Amino acid sequence: MKFIKQLSAGVLLSFGFIFLMIATVEILTYNQKPTPQEQQEARDTMMGGLVFGLPAVAYGGWLVWNLRKQNQKLLSDRLQSTFYRLLEENSGTISVLSFAKESQISGEEAKHYLDAKAKEFNATFDVNPQGGVYYHFHI
């Protein structure tokens, strides 16, 4: 289903931008049309480009936004489940390295996430002689 949404968004955005480009070209060359019939055709082309282009771009953009929102939700859920699983496995102690490794994110992202959770749950942390940070959550 995700692939179908991605494909649909790509097709809609592509066709929408093509129609909008056609309308833009007609708008820019409208005053260069010598006869009233050519000007009427240019107006019709502009309207057609806008009528077909704007909804396609809007719906394609909405699909992209919705997919991005879904991905953020999945990442958040994955991080949260990894966080709670590691808490249980390690009796409330988590290192930045182990969390980053288990959740497959960068060390900087892991540190930010653990800092936020430490504030939320009033956790303490220690730094070992090698420079590793360990968060202690009271469970």
Q: 104 pLDDT band (50/70/90 cuts)?
A: very high
Residue 101 has pLDDT above 80, yes or no: yes
The CATH class of 90-139 is mainly alpha
DSSP the chain: -HHHHHHHHHHHHHHHHHHHHHHHHHHHHGGG--SHHHHHHHHHHHHHHHHHHHHHHHHHHHHHHHHHHHHHHHHHHHHHHHHHHHHHHTTTEEEHHHHHHHHT--HHHHHHHHHHHHHHHT-EEEE-TTS-EEEE---
77 Cβ contact partners less than 8 Å away, ≥ 6 residues apart: none
Over the Cα atoms of the chain, what is R_g?
27
Task: Using pLDDT thresholds of 50, 70 and 90, give the confidence band for residue 53.
Answer: very high
* Residue extents of the structural domains in the chain: 1-75, 90-139
72 — pLDDT class (breaks 50, 70, 90): very high
Amino acid, single-letter form, for residue 114 = L
CB 136 within 8 A of CB 123: yes
Among candidates 48, 68, 47, 54, which has minimal Cα distance to 5? Answer: 68
pLDDT by residue (tens digit) across 29-48?
Answer: 888 878 889 889 989 999 99
Q: What global pTM score does this model have?
A: 0.71
What is the strand order of the sheet 93-95 is part of? 93-95, 133-136, 124-127
